[in-house]
Amino acid sequence: MALVNPTALFYGTSIRTRPTNLLNPTQKLRPVSSSSLPSFSSVSAILTEKHQSNPSENNNLQTHLETPFNFDSYMLEKVNMVNEALDASVPLKDPIKIHESMRYSLLAGGKRIRPMMCIAACEIVGGNILNAMPAACAVEMIHTMSLVHDDLPCMDNDDFRRGKPISHKVYGEEMAVLTGDALLSLSFEHIATATKGVSKDRIVRAIGELARSVGSEGLVAGQVVDILSEGADVGLDHLEYIHIHKTAMLLESSVVIGAIMGGGSDQQIEKLRKFARSIGLLFQVVDDILDVTKSTEELGKTAGKDLLTDKTTYPKLLGIEKSREFAEKLNKEAQEQLSGFDRRKAAPLIALANYNAYRQN
């Protein structure tokens, strides 16, 4: 679970300060600028220490990671499209309190990796990204719901998320619970009512896929097993079960429903499912590595909390270097699933895979 710096004050605002920019229902989000995004395409700048210390290996890896398009520009364009669509998806209306709280958490920022995966999967099968945009918004709603609920006192009991006071610190615990509930239900409603140009059969299939990924055999299953495993000695298989369900399945679903909305064949969808499953597990392995190798300031969230809580992680079971090797293996396996697709259309997913492998926060 991502954890954020629990400082009493942040950017000069009290934890009870409300987001005044969200109180006006006519006010739009400001477009994201290139300076506010991480340099997604400059993967060579975020290589592991092992590769940085080996110039020849570093040069080979940079060649391997090059993409045939400007990924920074791609991400900037798509993030702004997603943010605009998210802004429109939750207008301020009665009851004002709940919709204000929903907007506060949903529009708080973030890399929008899951919506990007959804859009890129739609593109790789030849679809129009506008067909997948409601689904992209839906996966971000569900991701936000999981963060709001994870941060509650009965779960991870955190204070900050994405550099802002978390929902229950601003609106109270009761409203935070209801905010997560409302975002979850809205995600399915939004796919069903806002998707255009896609057959009803595909829309129903996408809704079923998303529901499975977040329910008692998906995200919830991973969370339950994680809670029940606290303080216990667990092996790699057990840890992998937790992370596949808790983290990987929503990333997997993001890719799969993007391919469904884009008109992908069953064969294409299943190849993309395997790609996303590896990327989802990769995301968690890298998270575990960063938790013990980076500072709170570098991460923008609390570092070292896994160690303090004696949580089972990949570095704890494998060590840092073996964990990095495992991350490399997962990235390679994921990208092998894209070999049958048009290389140009696959470029965003390849770059997203590399970004997840070599990110620094």
Give every residue of the chain whose pLDDT is below 70, as ranges. 1-69, 156-163, 165, 169-171, 294-310, 361
Q: Rg for the chain (alpha carbons), in Å?
A: 20
Residue whose structure tokens are 């991973």 = 222
Residue positions counted in the chain = 361
pLDDT for res 231 = 75
Decide: 167 and 101 in contact? Cβ < 8 Å.
Answer: yes
pLDDT for res 187 = 97
Other C-beta atoms closer than 10 Å to the C-beta of 232 total 8
SS (H, E, C) the chain: CCCCCCCCCECCECCCCCCHHHCCCCCCCCCCCHHHCCCCCCHHHHCCHHHHCCHHHHHHHHHHHCCCCCHHHHHHHHHHHHHHHHHHHCCCCCCHHHHHHHHHHHCCCCCCHHHHHHHHHHHHCCCCHHHHHHHHHHHHHHHHHHHHHHCCCCCCCCCEECCEECHHHHHCHHHHHHHHHHHHHHHHHHHHHHCCCCCHHHHHHHHHHHHHHHCCCCHHHHHHHHHHCCCCCCCHHHHHHHHHHHHHHHHHHHHHHHHHHCCCCHHHHHHHHHHHHHHHHHHHHHHHHHHHHCCHHHHCCCCCHHHHCCCCCHHHHHCHHHHHHHHHHHHHHHHHCCCCCCHHHHHHHHHHHHHHHHCCC
pLDDT for res 55 = 40
Burial class from Cβ neighbours inside 10 Å (0-12, 13-18, 19+) for residue 274 reads middle
pLDDT for res 186 = 97
pLDDT for res 244 = 92
* Dihedral over Cα of 176, 181, 184, 185: its sign: negative
Q: How far apart are the first and last CA of the chain?
A: 13
Residue whose structure tokens are 């506060």 = 104
The residue type of 10 is F
Domains defined along the chain, listed by start: 71-358 (1.10.600.10)
